[in-house]
């Protein structure tokens, strides 16, 4: 795999930023032939589960109209279209293949709430089609894909937000501000916690493809395999071909916050161990996993997944802990934080989750990706941390990583897992 030279990439990004800044305040009239006061027309792809939240989220943003729905399962259309028709007075168009939706010139932006293995390709195709993109976390299914997503966003001057909505939360912003401003002294370690119960998914037989499902498109970039009800619609998270385990599902939120708080990008060493404990089922990813990262300045980030019943830590089960030379901060989800310093502990108020969708629309209108709270590059770096941990887990050994070349030096076995073999025609391109 050819790695993108980071120095060259940053120079290219700076040039792109200057170009965008020069046109800030317009709604890309050259592309749309419309004014900044016109509505932003959104198509949502992947309308089960999190996709329903995307629909609700965009319906709540002034000046936005949900004009299209896309999903490989046509049985979902009626239920997903109902709240849109009630709010907007008109049903959205429906598509079973994202390529057809991207051909629609009446769509300005797409949101992607598909399976993880579709995130990168949908985003890249969206950028190439001239659409702005809101893509769910994790940004990508592997490290190579993330590089290509960044390259596509910058090359086509697209606004690409990753669904790391903690970055739009006032509570998280305040906690990170304390960490970054020295409120606990010199921060030497962050811990990220994902203590979320995950029940057994059992073992199900392969069956014929259900009516209404385009299974070939659902598989997309993944290898061909028989249909199984444990893949569609949620349990794909626990299979390597489609998901990234809980460290890359719920956990990528906490990974993002940990990395953000410490002001770090990618590590120089990673190790991970764990297993799928408590039951025997069809899932492949660990329900219990610990990952450790060392950065070039010697600081540490530790991540822990616990999918079985467990205790909390300072009332935190899904959140972050930051440790400094003069105290610590514990952050529960996006809601509240404890600040411990010099023997005193203070708890913040409960904060509401910010509007990540509105932040995306703001940047769509300004044409400045720096207005995003979770630009694609930040989302990709956080997803990469999860991917590196999973590679170390799957290989069962500590790995040395080079953040500059984004490879594992002299380790072809690990480097091979930075990408995947793609199934035609669903190929993430080497050149976007």
Structure confidence by residue, pLDDT tens digits, 128-168: 999 999 999 999 999 999 999 999 999 999 999 999 999 99
Give me the percent of the chain exceeding a pLDDT of 70. 91
When pLDDT is cut at 50, 70 and 90, the band that residue 30 belongs to is very low
Model confidence band, residue 38 (pLDDT cutoffs 50, 70, 90): confident
Q: Predicted confidence band at 114 (pLDDT cuts at 50, 70, 90)?
A: very high
176-213 residue pLDDT tens = 999 999 999 999 999 999 999 999 999 999 999 999 99
Q: Which two tokens stand for residue 229?
A: 């009800």
Instruction: Work out the pLDDT band at 13, boundaries 50, 70, 90.
Output: very low
Contacts of 25 (CB under 8 A, 6+ apart): 36, 366, 367
Give domain limits for the chain: 6-167+355-374, 170-202+220-350+387-416
Confidence at 37, pLDDT banded by 50, 70, 90: low
The CA-based diameter of the chain, rounded to the nearest angstrom, is 63
Q: What is the mean pLDDT of residues 221-226?
A: 98
226's CB contacts (< 8 A; 6+ apart) are 206
Instruction: Tell me the per-residue pLDDT of 69-113, one tens digit each, with 9 for 90 and over.
Output: 999 999 999 999 999 999 999 999 999 999 999 999 999 999 999
* Top-level class of domain 170-202+220-350+387-416: alpha beta
The stretch 371-377 carries a mean pLDDT of 98
- pLDDT digit string (tens) for 319-331? 999 999 999 999 9
Tokens found for residue 237: 């998270």
Q: Helices in 181-225 by DSSP H: which ranges?
A: 215-219
- For the range 22-31, what are the long-range contacts, defined as Cβ-Cβ under 8 Å and sequence gap of 24 or more? 23/367, 24/366, 24/367, 24/368, 25/366, 25/367, 26/367, 27/364, 27/365, 27/367, 28/367, 31/130
Residue 195, pLDDT score: 98
pTM for this entry: 0.91
Closest CA to 46 of 65, 67, 69, 64: 69
List pLDDT tens digits, range 41-78.
Answer: 999 999 999 999 999 999 999 999 999 999 999 999 99
pLDDT higher at 5 or 333: 333
pLDDT tier at 417, thresholds 50, 70, 90: very high
**Tens digit of each residue's pLDDT (9 = 90 or more) over 294-348:** 999 999 999 999 999 999 999 999 999 999 999 999 999 999 999 999 899 999 9
In CATH, which superfamily holds the domain spanning 6-167+355-374? Answer: NAD(P)-binding Rossmann-like Domain (3.40.50.720)
Residue 11: the pLDDT is 40
Reply yes or no on whether the pLDDT at 18 is more than 50. Answer: no
């Amino acid at each position: 795999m050819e790695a993108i030279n980071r120095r060259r990439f940053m120079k290219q990004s700076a040039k792109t930023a200057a170009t965008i800044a020069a046109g800030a305040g317009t709604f890309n009239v050259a592309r749309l032939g419309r004014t900044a006061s016109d509505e932003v027309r959104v198509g949502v792809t992947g309308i089960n589960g999190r996709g329903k939240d995307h629909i609700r989220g965009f319906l709540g943003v002034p000046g936005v109209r949900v004009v299209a729905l896309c999903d490989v399962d046509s049985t979902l259309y009626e239920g997903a279209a109902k709240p849109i028709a009630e709010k907007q007075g008109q049903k959205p168009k429906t598509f079973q293949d994202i390529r057809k939706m991207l051909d629609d010139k009446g769509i300005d932006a797409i949101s992607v709430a598909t399976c993880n293995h579709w995130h990168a390709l949908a985003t890249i195709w969206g950028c190439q089609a001239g659409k702005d993109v809101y893509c769910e976390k994790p940004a990508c299914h592997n490290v190579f894909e993330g590089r290509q997503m960044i390259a596509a966003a910058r090359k086509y001057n697209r606004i690409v937000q990753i669904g790391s909505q903690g970055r739009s939360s006032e509570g998280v912003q305040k906690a990170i501000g304390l960490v970054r401003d020295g409120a606990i002294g010199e921060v030497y370690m962050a811990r990220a916690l994902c203590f979320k119960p995950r029940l057994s998914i059992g073992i199900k037989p392969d069956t014929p493809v259900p009516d209404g499902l385009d299974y070939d498109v659902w598989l997309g970039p993944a290898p061909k395999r028989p249909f199984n009800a444990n893949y569609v619609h949620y349990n794909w998270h626990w299979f390597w071909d489609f998901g990234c385990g809980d460290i890359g599902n719920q956990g990528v939120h906490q990974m993002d916050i940990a990395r953000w708080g410490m002001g770090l990008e990618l590590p120089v060493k990673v190790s991970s161990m764990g297993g799928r404990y408590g039951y025997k089922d069809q899932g492949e990813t660990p329900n219990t996993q610990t990952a450790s990262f060392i950065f070039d300045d010697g600081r540490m980030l530790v991540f822990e997944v616990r999918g079985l019943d467990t205790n909390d830590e300072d009332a935190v089960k899904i959140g972050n802990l930051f440790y400094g030379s003069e105290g610590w901060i514990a952050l529960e989800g996006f809601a509240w934080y404890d600040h411990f310093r010099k023997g005193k502990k203070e708890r913040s108020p409960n904060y509401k989750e910010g509007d990540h969708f509105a932040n995306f629309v703001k940047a769509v209108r300004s044409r400045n990706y720096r207005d995003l709270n979770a630009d694609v590059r930040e989302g990709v770096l956080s997803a990469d941390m999860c991917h590196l941990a999973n590679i170390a887990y799957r290989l069962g050994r500590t790995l040395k990583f080079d953040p500059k070349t984004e490879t594992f030096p002299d380790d072809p076995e690990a480097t091979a897992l930075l990408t995947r073999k793609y199934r035609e025609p669903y190929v993430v391109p080497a050149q976007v």
